[in-house]
Structure 1
Amino acid sequence: MNSSIENSTPTVEYYYYYDDNSPEVVSVAAPFIVPMMGYVYPIVAILTILMNGLVVTVFTRKMRTPTSIILVALAISDTLTCLCMLPDSVYLYTLKNYKTYLPYRWCVYRHYIVGDLYRVTRTWSNWITVVLGLQRYIVVRLPFKAKQISSSRNSIIACVVACVIAVTVHLNLFLFIEVHQLPVTSETNETLPDGCYLTVPEFYIEAVGDIGKAVWMYYLISGTFSRFLPCLLLLVSTCLLVYELRKGQRFVVTACQNASSKRNTKQITQFVVAILVIFLISELHDAVAFGIYVYEIASDRLASILTQKVDAIWDYTGVMLSLVGFQCNFWIYLLMSSQFRSALKSLCLSPYRQETETTTTSQSYLQENRSLIKVTKINSDK
């Protein structure tokens, strides 16, 4: 658990008190992880955050629809996921601090933000994507009821419910582990920054009784609701959407009478399908890992397929795949939606237009004043 960002195969020593009180460290499972997390991840994460800012601005100012509400929530959840991981990536791998033990303050940040909050925001992103797929299928399949079912109010409620599910699924994480300060001294008795070690709280052990059973039950429940179930629902909804698209004009909402509205509806459906496919490509990686872990638990052969080293590499790869998926969303909007391109262009040109309009107004006002002065002068001469 200590050797990766999101290691999903717990070891016995992680869930019990450390006997040697050794400070927490982060080991590197493979050489490629350092440049990948130290250089590639920060650059892509910063670009994703900036592009998501554009997405939120465009959808909230220029394209307010029930679908855009879900897309804004998706951009916010993706941004929070990037923000959880970005400082840790820079501190550990860009600045090469993985070579020593973790200071206490950074250990607290890494445990509660990178470990716990990251899982919550990523699960929230997964369920918002599920909401997006289901909402679009309702629009396509039930055009007469779409306005009532897929209203703006219901979209907001669905996004809030997705957030509640994500917090509930991972609430156990915030109670399960305590982070303690650990004084560290060198061989020359020089005082160094405090390290940290992790323990399971006594109240938690007394409450659950069998700590091992409680750990595996939590893992199975959280894995089902954060990985397996979202991927399954999205796989089904994506296949149904693609099927409807192949049937031609059936996906067009009956209320749309003009060709422009029909074209916009078609484009929205197509880029939603593209988002769902990209999501499945990135998240199925974790769903497969979850299936392997379940098999290992059921057969009592822990780490028999995914060893600790392979598991760490698998987790880092999943982190990068999810980040690439976040990045692709903006380009899907830009390349597949003419309405989004027009709204973005209008947003970017609005300051220039405002300045032009101000200049024109000032010139007109000046010309009117000059004309008034000229008329006044003529009248006075007479």
Structure 2
Amino acid sequence: MIISSNDTSSTVEASGINLAPKDFKWYPFPPGQCPPSYYVILQGICAPLIIIISTVLNSLIAVVLLQKQLRSATNILLLAIALYDTLTGLFPFPTYIYVFTFKNCNDYWPYNYGWFHRINYQVLPFIFHTCSIWVTVVLAIQRYIYVCHSEKAKQWCTVRMALKAIACVNLLALIVAIPMFIEGSFHPITVRSLLDPTKTLEACLVRDYSEDQRFSTLYYVYSVLRALLINVGPCTILVILNAILVERMKAAKQNRARLMRKRSHETRAQEQTSVTLMLVIVVTIFLIVEVPMALHLIIWGLLQLLESNFLSEFLIVAVQFLNFAVLLSYPINFFIYCRMSRAFRDAFTELLCPSKTQNRQERLPSTALRLINKQYNNDDNYNHLESNNNTHIEMKNSIIKIQPSSTVILNHRTDEALISLTPSMNSVDIKHNGTENSPDSIMQQHILFRDDAVTSKNKRLNNL
């Protein structure tokens, strides 16, 4: 459809700028009217910087979580959230630079730019942000199952189920976004350039069906459903699950001393509590930026229903700051993972400084070998390992080999691990001279014996 600029019935010259025909408007905004200064600051300066930082940090998260030792159902969901957050910022990035950073708004927008702007600035960010929201809900549900229904965790909290949930979330986001493709139609109009009157170009007009009285009811229903599915509903679910998890964490902290007698069990419980706390913080930050957005949509919908302009200008400005707050929350997850997850820190350190990690792994077996060589005496029938405080640990004839990669001493006769030297602080009881001494006070190492070592009648060892 071509609308001639000479048709005075449809367009009128006013101050050198053509007025849009009836039922049409200039897209994305009238020519010659650059966005306000706060638009330029937020979306032309701050937003591109935040997107670059977020992309780098989320890429590091993805590389770390893709390592084999960190592949789990929870980490798959965290990886998906990092990916969706990155894509939510990357697709509108060209528009931020072109429109707001360089202020290319002094002339009519080309018709060919209409769909590009609509898809990259509105539709795709909406789809990926929707996916991020619902994957966060799936993550909270998964942690709820871990904490409150641990007997069902093996069935529901698996990598396979996590991938299925992500696929369902993608499908949901695509279905919800379908009306965005058809809620308006673009039309070209031939006009003279404002910068060079000798040139003509095809400007972009849009017919917005949401403002058409024939479709107003349908659009209102769609807006309410979208708000419920994308903002209000997920935030309500997350608030409830977050409250339950926090309450269970408090109860677990109070009962841990009474219920967890063995130190290894207590260590595992503390690790699970740390993971739960980390995810609770991630969800809480998500709610801090999403709940105000949900309230904004509710208030905006009510004002549209009542056909009132009350607070309309304030809401238009507020939504820009709310969108920027959502964008600002994307890089924060990286620092939360680094602060609260030791496994993530170790994997990240190994990724950046593999030589440092390798030296640390090689230093532990070499230290153990020096201790063994210093206190190891050959005998025809027995091998004795003697510590500095005269504690004797008796083992049958065997050839002892240390593998630096696993820091495990292997028995060549049985091909089983006899001793595992790790830097953990798990307690092992060794009966010595009528008393029980912890290896924490001996050599700060955890010594784990297999069945052939347990047969010794003079020793009592607990694998904690």
TM-score (norm 2): 0.66
Number of residue pairs aligned between Structure 1 and Structure 2: 333
Instruction: Return the match for 1:229 from 226, 233, 241.
Output: 233
Instruction: Return the match for 1:92 from 69, 94, 99.
Output: 99
Which residue number corresponds to residue 88 of structure 2?
A: 81
Instruction: Return the match for 1:196 from 204, 225, 237.
Output: 204
Instruction: Return the match for 1:24 from 24, 27, 32.
Output: 27
CA distance in 2 between partners of 1:71 and 1:303 (Å)? 41
Which residue number corresponds to residue 264 of structure 1?
A: 271
Task: Report if aligned partners of 2:189, 2:202 keep a CA contact under 8 Å in 1.
Answer: yes
1:147 aligns with 2:151: no
Instruction: Return the match for 1:338 from 336, 342, 363.
Output: 342
Which residue number corresponds to residue 4 of structure 1?
A: none
Task: Report if aligned partners of 1:123, 1:226 keep a CA contact under 8 Å in 2.
Answer: yes
SS in structure 1 of the partner of residue 37 of structure 2: coil
Task: Report if aligned partners of 1:182, 1:195 keep a CA contact under 8 Å in 2.
Answer: yes
Give the letter aligned to residue 302 of structure 1: S
| Correspondence list, 1:334-373, <5 A | 334-350=338-354
Segments of 4+ in structure 1 off by > 4 A?
27-30, 249-254, 256-260, 351-355
1:285 aligns with 2:292: yes
Decide whether aligned partners of structure 1 residues 235 and 29 sit closer, same or farther in structure 2, where only a CA change above 3 A counts: farther
Which residue number corresponds to residue 413 of structure 2?
A: none
CA distance in 1 between partners of 2:276 and 2:111 (Å)? 48
| Correspondence list, 1:67-78, <5 A | 67-78=74-85
- Identity of matched residues, %: 24
Choose between structure 1 and 2 for higher RCO, CA contacts under 8 A separated by at least 6 residues.
1
- Note the alpha carbon deviations across 1:316-337, whole angstroms, 9 max, x for none: 1121111121111111111111
Higher-Rg structure is: 2
CA distance in 2 between partners of 1:64 and 1:262 (Å)? 20
SS in structure 1 of the partner of residue 310 of structure 2: coil
TM superposition shift of 1:183: 2.2
CA distance in 2 between partners of 1:140 and 1:353 (Å)? 33
Decide whether aligned partners of structure 1 residues 22 and 164 sit closer, same or farther in structure 2, where only a CA change above 3 A counts: closer
- Note the alpha carbon deviations across 1:211-257, whole angstroms, 9 max, x for none: 11111111111111111101111111111111111112499999x95
1:159 aligns with 2:159: no
Which residue number corresponds to residue 60 of structure 2?
A: 54
SS in structure 2 of the partner of residue 96 of structure 1: coil
Structure 2: unaligned runs, 5 residues or longer: 1-19, 362-464
Give the letter aligned to residue 120 of structure 1: I
TM superposition shift of 1:25: 4.3
CA distance in 1 between partners of 2:208 and 2:43 (Å)? 29
Decide whether aligned partners of structure 1 residues 264 and 353 sit closer, same or farther in structure 2, where only a CA change above 3 A counts: closer
CA distance in 1 between partners of 2:154 and 2:193 (Å)? 68
Q: CA RMSD in A?
A: 3.1
SS in structure 1 of the partner of residue 83 of structure 2: helix
1:182 aligns with 2:189: yes
Instruction: Choose 119-128 or 245-254, whichever is displaced more.
Output: 245-254
Say which structure is richer in helix: 1
SS in structure 2 of the partner of residue 104 of structure 1: coil
- Note the alpha carbon deviations across 1:117-140, whole angstroms, 9 max, x for none: 111111111111111111111111
Give the letter aligned to residue 136 of structure 1: R
Give the letter aligned to residue 194 of structure 1: E
Decide whether aligned partners of structure 1 residues 28 and 259 sit closer, same or farther in structure 2, where only a CA change above 3 A counts: farther
CA distance in 2 between partners of 1:338 and 1:286 (Å)? 33
Task: Report if aligned partners of 1:264, 1:339 keep a CA contact under 8 Å in 2.
Answer: no
SS in structure 1 of the partner of residue 151 of structure 2: coil
Task: Report if aligned partners of 2:47, 2:324 keep a CA contact under 8 Å in 1.
Answer: yes
CA distance in 2 between partners of 1:20 and 1:248 (Å)? 62
Decide whether aligned partners of structure 1 residues 286 and 20 sit closer, same or farther in structure 2, where only a CA change above 3 A counts: closer
Instruction: Return the match for 2:282 from 256, 275, 282.
Output: 275
Decide whether aligned partners of structure 1 residues 354 and 212 sit closer, same or farther in structure 2, where only a CA change above 3 A counts: same
Give the letter aligned to residue 342 of structure 2: S
Task: Report if aligned partners of 1:29, 1:313 keep a CA contact under 8 Å in 2.
Answer: no
Task: Report if aligned partners of 1:29, 1:312 keep a CA contact under 8 Å in 2.
Answer: no
Which residue number corresponds to residue 126 of structure 1?
A: 133
Decide whether aligned partners of structure 1 residues 159 and 200 sit closer, same or farther in structure 2, where only a CA change above 3 A counts: same
Decide whether aligned partners of structure 1 residues 101 and 245 sit closer, same or farther in structure 2, where only a CA change above 3 A counts: farther
TM superposition shift of 1:315: 1.8
TM superposition shift of 1:200: 5.5
Say which structure is richer in strand: 2
CA distance in 2 between partners of 1:333 and 1:139 (Å)? 19
Decide whether aligned partners of structure 1 residues 28 and 328 sit closer, same or farther in structure 2, where only a CA change above 3 A counts: farther
Structure 1: unaligned runs, 5 residues or longer: 1-16, 358-382
TM superposition shift of 1:94: 1.0
